[in-house]
Amino acid sequence: MCVAVPGRILSIDHQPPGGDSDGEDPLWRIAQVDFGGVRQQVSLACLPEAQVGDRVIVHVGIALSLVAEDQEAETRGPLPWAQP
Amino acid sequence: MNACIQLAHGGGGTLMQQLIDRELRCLYNDPTQVLHDAARLERPPGLLAFSTDSYVVQPLEFCGGDIGSLAITGTANDLAMAGARPLHLSVALILEEGLPLELLRRLVASMAASARSCGVAIRTGDTKVVERGKGDGIFITTSGIGVVEAPNAIDPLAIQPGDQILVSGDLGRHGLAIMAARHGLDLQPPVASDCAPLWPLVEQLLAAQVQLHCLRDLTRGGLASALQELAQARGLEFTVENKQLPVLEAVARSCELLGFDPLHLANEGRFVAVLPPQHLGTALALLAPLGGRHIGAVRQGPGRVLLRTEFGTERLLLPPSGELLPRIC
Amino acid sequence: MGTAMSIAMARLAQQLAATVSQPWTLMEVCGGQTHAIVRSGLDQLLPPGLRLIHGPGCPVCVTPAATIDAALELATRPELILCSYGDMLRVPGSDPTGGNLLQQRAAGGDVRLLTSPLQALAIAQAHPQRQVVFLAVGFETTAPATALLARQALGLQLANLSLLLAHVRVPPAMEAIITAPGNQVQGFLAAGHVCSVMGISELELMVRQHQLPVVVTGFEPLELMQGLLHCVQLLEAGTPRVLNAYKKVVRDSGNPTARALVEEVFELAPQTWRGLGALPASGLALRPAYHHLDARRRFQLGQASKGESDNPCISGLILQGQKNPVDCPAFGKGCRPEHPLGAPMVSSEGACAAYHHYRP
């Protein structure tokens, strides 16, 4: 029931509103994720173990799960259309 | 110095004359010509084609184009789809009070450039101004006259069972460029609108004596809408092969992310051609180097469009119902 | 000449046909699975005797009409910004002629389309003088995002943001289907992304209790077909269990961080499902520390539904898989995406919409 697509983490940042002097609250940890040509800012609040280079499944702007690399290609496969 | 459009600019007085002289004359081939209520045109031999369209796109500027380039190219392309060489255009502008003059200048320059690349001349125009809040910045209506060069009528009714369907290039770039601008999508590299003149391709097909039963440019509603209109108008069944449809990866991935279908996204520089099978090879030889593909065929059956999936199953291809909205489910 | 994908699919279809020795009825729970199946025409590849019926996993479809009515009313208030996912904008309320959020926007309501709940935070911060209400719907996949929004709003002590909640849980719906008199479902395809958060323990409990197989799948056509094969294999062998066939995304333990966030903000509550009625412990309610973020409390919205008794929409029967969209007399006639009688025709995951869009 959920459009959740995999993307790769390009960079990770910490964006607490108005400065956070109590160290890095994971609630405000965000990543720049590349979904194959389109990039979005994604919250890592639910995935504290995620690192740059990881592939993650993202739903409504939140990373929910790491995608196991070795099993990536099997069923996802190429896009159904022709490459121009 | 006022940097915005004021109501007085549409009032018919000095300010309006200044606006025309300073900002709009460059639309005309001869900026010094005296502007009358009507333009007088030489009447070419043969059939004329006549088309009109209004442009209300938001945002006004986007990657690869703006409302100006769309307004000129769109109407020129409608003429090309009738097998007509576009010749003359009229440009009617409705400006909203408060529209920045700098923006207007950019749009006008864009229209002039598009007119040159479409090979059309803007012959006449009109300008009105509406109160702030009563217009979306700018609305543009263009009407165009062209001379028909196709030897046979290009019309959905000319489509026959056995005809082949081609598309001239990849799908959805314009729609995605608009969505990206509207919703602040970060596309790397950016996806530019595919807005482009179509007459040069049609001219080549005609010159190679390709018999064209029907042409339809893909605009709002994408490939799905264009094919549905033709299939329903003619009362024949169209089948297309999903794996033959050209879609740029960035367009496909963005669609996945937002829940769009690339076959529903608008295009502004693509068309479908429906032609008899014996002309398929020639047509494809001309269109393929620019991204064109043979995507399907026409057969007896109810007026609808079927898509054959990569798994060999067939399902309906319907146009989108209503505005395309990003979704989460 | 086939592509690798079509060859792989043909092989799976063959294996499925070879495995089936008697009729089976399966249900795919998630609307996204339904759409993927119908869009790819997978139902045309199933062997005779293998019946697939469509489940209630469409959060748009099951959001109570009363919640839509409340959102529509809030959107008429000029001081208020109503934020919603795009999916909800065309859903009718109790009165199918009473308009939707998109029409409310056209009539001047400040209705904003969001692709993430976190955008509501930015809107609230940008408009401190105005009330911002977020229509928070969805299953367990979406709840963590709403919970995060609530936690961040609490941390910022935002006074002008509130949530109009209608979050729902999958297991009570599956339970309701299994225990309904006349239930024919013998096995389930479970929603992979819900399980990426929840893991498989709730499903294991259900399987122990009811002895039917549940296979967790992804949403690609090959993954779905593979899932169907696994499910049939379990049925043929008489070995009901939970099989996680989406291991590349779903850990059996799910995402504990996401669950902790949800548990901090929400507690289980009874919830009315549009078309299905009230199911116990099937929804989420804000815990006391977050009550100030509840739009119903803040705006004193009534709970009473106007009722949909005059509406011929049979969405309840569709969502339970007891009727097929084409069984509905209004399908394609009085009920079309442009003028839907209920949610399943307008939701991008609704079974009625899937049939209307894709079934020749």
Q: Is C285 helix (H, G, I), strand (E, B) or coil?
A: strand
* pLDDT, tens only, C303-330: 655 566 667 888 888 888 888 999 999 9
For chain B, how far is it from start to end, CA to CA, in angstroms? 51
Tell me which residue range forms the domain holding B37.
7-148
Query: Across chain C, what does the average pLDDT equal?
Result: 93
Mean pLDDT of C3-26: 94
H or E element in which residue B72 lies: helix B67-80
Q: Does residue B19 sit in the same domain as residue B136? A: yes
Check A37 against B250: CB less than 8 A apart. yes
The amino acid present at B259, given as its one-letter code, is: G
| Preferred mutation among B223, B249, B255, B317 to probe A, highest tally of A CBs within 10 A | B249
Query: Which pLDDT score is estimated for B172?
Result: 96
Do B169 and B211 fall within a single domain?
yes
Cis peptide leading into residue B59 (ω within 30°): yes
- Asked if B253 and B166 sit in the same domain, the reply is yes
Compute the nearest-CA separation of A71 from chain C (Å): 6
Q: Residue B269 to residues A66, B75, B126, B194, B218: CA-CA distances in angstroms?
A: 40, 12, 26, 5, 8
Closest CA to C54 of B321, A1, B307, B315: A1
Q: Are A60 and C145 in contact (CB under 8 A)?
A: yes
Neighbours of chain C (3+ CB pairs under 8 A): A, B
Q: Is residue B242 less than 8 Å (CB to CB) from chain A? A: yes
pLDDT band at residue B222 using 50, 70 and 90 as cut-offs: very high
Cα Rg, chain B, nearest whole Å: 21
A61: left (phi over 0), alpha (psi -120 to 50) or beta: left
Token readout for A33 is 């994720």
Mean pLDDT of C137-154: 97
Neighbours of C317 (CB within 10 A): 15
Give C 224-263 residues with CB within 8 A of chain A.
226, 247-251, 255, 257-258, 261
Q: What are B288's two structure tokens?
A: 């393929």
Residue of A nearest to C35 (CA): A1
Q: Is residue B321 part of a domain?
A: no
Specify the pLDDT at position C181. 87
Asked if A60 lies within 8 A of C139 by C-beta distance, the reply is: no
Each domain of chain C, given as residue ranges in start order, spans: 9-62+171-250+310-360, 64-167+255-298
d(CA B83, CA B213) in angstroms, rounded, equals 10
How far apart CA B82 and CA B144 sit, in angstroms, is 12
Q: Do B35 and B183 belong together in one domain?
A: no
Q: How far is CA B66 from CA B15, B96, B99, B109, C210, in A?
A: 26, 17, 15, 11, 60
How far apart CA C174 and CA C246 sit, in angstroms, is 19
Closest-CA residue of B relative to C138 is: B329
Return the pLDDT at C306. Answer: 58
pLDDT single digits (tens) C203-215: 999 999 999 999 9
> Which residue out of A1, A2, A46, A83 would a mutagenesis test of the C interface target, given it has the greatest number of C Cβ atoms within 10 Å?
A1
- Which tens digit of pLDDT belongs to each residue from A29-66? 999 999 988 899 999 999 999 999 999 999 999 999 99
Average pLDDT, chain B: 94
Question: Is B319 in contact with B253 (CB distance < 8 Å)?
Answer: no
Best of C246, C248, C265 to disrupt the A interface (most A CBs within 10 Å) is C248
* Identical fold between C9-62+171-250+310-360 and C64-167+255-298: yes
State how beta strands C24-30 and C187-191 pair. parallel
Neighbours of chain B (3+ CB pairs under 8 A): A, C
Residues B177 and B305 in one domain: yes
pLDDT number for residue B121: 95
Q: Quote the pTM value.
A: 0.91
Position B17 in a domain: yes
The pLDDT of B244-257, averaged and rounded, is 92
Parallel, antiparallel, or unpaired: how do β-strands C80-85 and C131-138 relate?
Answer: parallel
Closest CA to C43 of C336, C345, C325: C325
B103 and B188 belong to one structural domain:
no
Chosen domain end from B148, B172, B202: B148
Residue B132 distance to chain A (closest CA, Å): 35
Whether residues C59 and B329 touch (CB distance < 8 A) is answered with yes
Judged by a CB distance cut-off of 8 A, whether residue B252 touches chain A is yes
Nearest CA in chain C to A70: C248
Structural contact between residues B203 and B85, judged by C-beta atoms closer than 8 angstroms: yes
Q: How confident is the model at residue A75 (pLDDT cuts 50, 70, 90)?
A: very low
Count Cβ–Cβ pairs < 8 Å, chain B vs chain C. 85
| Spatial separation of the C-alpha atoms in residues A79 and C102, rounded to whole Å | 32
Q: Is residue B325 part of a domain?
A: no
Average of per-residue pLDDT across B67-81: 98
Buried b (16+ CB within 10 A) or exposed e, C62-84: bbbbbbbbbbbbbbeeeebbbbb
C102 neighbourhood in chain B, CB within 8 Å: 322-323
Q: CB-CB: which of C9, C85, C142 is closest to B311?
A: C9
The least confident of B219-233, B246-260, C248-262 is B246-260
How far is B320 from B308, CA to CA, in rounded Å? 18
Task: Out of 3.30.200.20, 3.30.70.20, 2.30.30.140, 3.30.300.30, select the CATH number for domain A5-16+24-72.
Answer: 2.30.30.140
ipTM field: 0.91
**What sign results for the dihedral spanned by CA atoms C138, A57, B325, A81?**
negative
pLDDT > 70 fraction of chain B, expressed in percent and rounded? 99
Question: Lowest-confidence range among A23-27, B265-269, C124-128, C162-166?
Answer: A23-27
Q: Judge: A37–B246 Cβ closer than 8 Å, yes or no.
A: no
* Number of domain units in chain B: 2
Is the CATH number 1.10.357.10 carried by domain C9-62+171-250+310-360? no
Is B34 an 8 Å CB contact of chain A? no
In the numeric block, the tokens 């007896």 are attached to B300
Q: What is the mean pLDDT of chain A?
A: 85
Instruction: Kindly state whether residues B73 and B204 are assigned to the same domain.
Output: no
pLDDT in tens, B175-204: 999 999 988 888 888 999 999 999 999 999
Q: Which residues between 147 and 186 in chain C have a beta carbon less than 8 angstroms from any beta carbon of chain A?
A: 148, 151-152, 155-156
Closest residue by Cα to residue C345 from C326, C173, C360, C170: C326
Q: Give the closest of B169, B247, B328 to A81, CB-based.
A: B247
Per the CB < 8 Å rule, is B188 touching A40? no
Q: CA triplet C39, C43, C49: central angle to 5 degrees?
A: 170
- The band of A71, judged by pLDDT with boundaries at 50, 70 and 90, is low
Candidate from B44-58, B147-161, C261-275, C340-354 with smallest mean pLDDT: C340-354
Mean pLDDT computed over C119-123: 96
Question: What is the rounded distance in angstroms from the CA atom of residue C10 to the CA atom of residue B56?
Answer: 47
Query: Alpha-carbon distance A64 to C194, whole Å?
Result: 10
What CATH number is given to the structural domain containing B19? 3.30.1330.10
Give the up-direction half-sphere exposure of residue B89: CA atoms within 13 A in the CB hemisphere.
34
Interacting residues of C275 by C-beta distance below 8 A, sequence separation 6+: C56, C61, C62, C313, C315, C316, C317, C318, C319, C342, C343, C344
Q: Search chain C and give the residue with CA nearest B315.
A: C358
Distance of CA B263 to the CA centre of its chain: 16
Contact between residue B308 and residue B314 where contact means Cβ atoms under 8 Å apart: yes
The stretches of chain A forming alpha helices (DSSP H) are 73-76
Q: What is the 3-state secondary structure (H, E, C) of B113-131?
A: HHHHHHCCEEEEEEEEEEC
Which of B148, B169, B193 is where one domain is finished? B148
Residue B183 and residue B141 share a domain: no
Mutation test of the interface with chain B: which of C115, C346, C348, choosing the one with the most B Cβ atoms within 10 A? C115
Q: How is chain A split into domains, by residue range?
A: 5-16+24-72
Q: Which fold has domain C64-167+255-298?
A: Rossmann fold (3.40.50)
Range in B102-116, B176-190, C181-195, C310-324 with the lowest mean pLDDT? C310-324
Q: What are phi and psi of C29, to 5 degrees?
A: -75, -35
Same domain, B133 and B171: no
Tens digit of pLDDT for each residue in B3-24? 999 998 888 888 888 898 889 9
Q: Are residues B168 and B301 in the same domain?
A: yes
- In angstroms, the CA C57 to CA C28 distance is 8
The reply to whether B138 and B199 lie within a common domain is: no
Residue at C262: amino acid letter? V
What are the start-end ranges of the E strands in chain C?
24-30, 50-57, 80-85, 111-114, 131-138, 161-167, 187-191, 214-217, 242-244, 266-273, 277-286
Which of B148, B175, B192 corresponds to the end of one domain?
B148
Are both B213 and B144 inside the same structural domain? no
